[in-house]
Each structure stands twice: as C-alpha cells, then as structure tokens.
Amino acid sequence: MRPVIIAANWKMNTTPADAGELAATIAARTEEPGVVRVICPPFVCLAAVRDALAATNVFVGAQNVHHEAAGAYTGEISVTMLKGLATWVILGHSERRRDAAESDELIGQKLARAISAGLRPILCVGEVLAEREAGRAVEVVATQLRGALAGKDMEALLSGGFVIAYEPVWAIGTGRTASSDDAAAMAEAIRATLSADLHWGEAAEQVPVLYGGSVTKANIGEFLAEHSIDGGLVGGASLKPDEMAGMVASAAITAKARADAEGRA
C-alpha cells in the first residue's frame, strides 16, 4: 500500500527565530495515525526545524540541492551539507524551473545525487496554463519524467522512497486548482509513463503521487478521495497550523480507509 503523505513547502518564508516554534506547533496539531508528515523550510531554518521536531515523527526536508557533491558553486547547497539536517528533498519545483532555468536533465542529475546520499526525493512535474489549454498537459509531464528519469536506477529510486508531485503551474499560488478528476487522470498518466515509456512495469504502481497547487484543508479531501492520489505538496497553506491540522486529519481518514480496504483484500 502506498503511503499517504502531506509535505509542507514553506518556500522563502520564516526565519531561524520563528521557524522552530511554527514547526513544533504544526507537529503537535497534526498527530494523526497513518500519515507521513514532512516540513521543508528554507535552508537557514533547517537546524531550527530539525531541533524542534527531534522528539516527533515529522520529517525535515530541503527545498532544493545541487547536482554536484562539492565545488566552486557560490550560494549552492550540496547533499553533504544537508547530512544531519534533512532526510527529504524537493526537486524540480516549477519555481526552480522558471526562476533558475532548471532543465529536466539537470533535475535528473540532482535526483541521482539525492538518492545516492540517502535523501528521499519529491520530484515535481507539471504544465503551465497554455500547455493545458492546448491539450498538451500529459505530453508535457511525460516529457519531464522521461528527461529526469531516463537511465536512472529504478530499484535505487524505489528503495529510496521516490515520490512524484504533480503541480499544475497555473494553480500554484493563484487560488485556482485542478479538478480532482483532472489530477487523478494525470496521476494515472504519470504511472503509465513510468510503466511503459521508462519500462518500470508494475513497479510504477508503488510510486506515491501527490497533488500540489493551492492545496487547502477545504479542498484536499476531494483529491484524497481519488485512489491514484496519495497526498499533497502544500505551499502557502502549510504556514498555517489550522490549515495543516485540517489537511492531515483528512489524510488520516484516507490512510485508515486504504488500510482497512487492504486488510479486506
């Protein structure tokens, strides 16, 4: 059974002075069985969040990592630097693709580096509005997957806890969301690409797919009701303890229902 995951992407928000308290509050408000919780603060807040979550089962993630292990890369962060600070990492977020011009090939290099270092990756994929309106959403996402994953070790990715987040770019920070039907169809298309194009076969069904794109406690239930969707990558709402509490509570209901169904199977 795939895990149900709620991952918080704090983006460029919080400081070392307030991040720990916020993380601790969220952890205390989201103690629900069966849900994997991850908080991804800015790099400068990783230590504070790690310390605040030390006595909890909430994981800490980074928002990015460099594709090289070390070198003359001013301002960058390597996997070695994250050791002891984070166990998860977000890769290929649309804002990195847009603002840092990250290519699928580069994201694939980061993915390989993260897996080799024992970081659990969340690979982000998604289309912009013009691509969806042109009927090219599935094609765009499939191209991103092939570009990042071609030639990668499937077994290493699966054993490393590989996760994919579908984030329709036009829905991020806009208040708009994809419909649950559209998100579920894309999740199925993602696994079909893994299975057929990348030759993962039935192993593709093991990969959790999250939805990201203006996720809130008010709408997450409709996405979690889709069997092909396994949680959320949450942006702005993840900075609000009430929102996180509501989303994790919904995720716990989904996790229990899936566990019960698995037990009856």
Angle at 238 between CA 137 and CA 25, to 5 degrees: 160
The answer to whether residues 190 and 141 touch, using CB atoms and an 8 Å cutoff, is: yes
Among 95, 131, 167, 243, the active-site one is: 167
Answer yes or no: 226 catalytic.
no
Catalytic residue among 93, 102, 131, 226: 93
93: annotated active-site residue: yes
- So which residues are the catalytic ones? 93, 167
